[in-house]
Amino acid sequence: MPTNKKVLVSAVGVITFIIIVIAIAYFATGGVNSTIKNQLVALRSGDIAKAYSYTSTDFRNATPLTDFEAFVNHYEALRENKRFSLTEKEIKDDTGVVKGTLYSKEGASTPVEYLLVKEDGEWKILGIQVNPSSVIENAGNGNLGTSEMTNSYDNQDSRYTMKYPGNWEYEKAGDGTVIFSGKRGTTAYFSTVNIQTVLTKKTGGDFSTVKQFMADIKHQAVSQSPGVKFLESGPFEITEKNGKKDKGEYTVFSYTYKDKEFKQWQIVILRSDAQVFYAWAYTSPIAQYPNDLVVAKKMLESWIIY
């Protein structure tokens, strides 16, 4: 009997602990749901200014109230919303991604995705994607703050072309290096896609293989940011315009720079003639990373080596 009682007490303790954990998780993430709900209520009542107040500082800096109103008016699911059904929620530190379905008063259903960030202890909306399933196929479709891939860049010296959005720009940062980023005043201003063309050992460079080059990149990351975290890695391949396959590797890691956390998707490939490596990287503050990842993927898909 004493043994059974001890087991019972232990079980009750476990249940209590689980309840406490659930409660903590609820209070930590419940504000995310409230922010979305409150904005939808404001939109439903036609109070655009109030709905706008639930957005983040970066959102408002990049998106004037008039643009926000035009975006809302374009989507009946937002303007005439009746309810929101949550399907997925991911919270990490001070950022969150919430996916679900909006139902209009007429019964139509529309997938929607929210990117949120915590400001002064309150959750604010950083990005809204309507019909997010179509974003990869058509970057910017239903995504407030992301433009179509309307511009083209041709680097004849390094033998490649790539498309980039109308609200991004580029600058040459040295021999063989070009950096693309969102224009000043947009949420993508601190996100970058950069491409470096680096000579192989065969043509006077330092590295003979992709593995050597990638190892050096990782070594630099660790030496510059002791708290670097390598999240994933694997093989990568791109097909040149002539049909030849360029082999390489990719890695994704996070690091801290000047007390701010960043995330980087790094790719290194060896061109088929073995004369140069291409080092392609998408880097962004960790809170902004998911939002501009759509653009980075679309740019990578448009990259043609000739």
Is 161 in contact with 145 (CB distance < 8 Å)? Answer: no
Is 126 in contact with 59 (CB distance < 8 Å)? Answer: yes
CATH superfamily of 2-134: NTF2-like; domain 1 (3.10.450.100)
Pick 266 or 7 by higher pLDDT.
266
Q: Where are the domains of the chain?
A: 2-134, 151-305
CATH class of 151-305: alpha beta
What does the alpha-carbon distance between residue 204 and residue 206 come to, in Å, rounded to a whole number? 7
User: Is 5 a residue whose pLDDT tops 80?
Assistant: no
- Out of 107-111, 166-170, 207-211, give the one with best mean pLDDT: 207-211
User: Is 163 a residue whose pLDDT tops 90?
Assistant: yes
User: Is 9 a residue whose pLDDT tops 50?
Assistant: no
pTM (2 d.p.): 0.56
Q: In this predicted structure, what is the pLDDT of residue 131? A: 65
H or E segment and range at residue 107 = none
* Tokens linked to 301: 């898909």
User: Is 63 a residue whose pLDDT tops 80?
Assistant: no
Provide the percentage of residues in the chain whose pLDDT is more than 70: 84
Q: In this predicted structure, what is the pLDDT of residue 50? A: 97
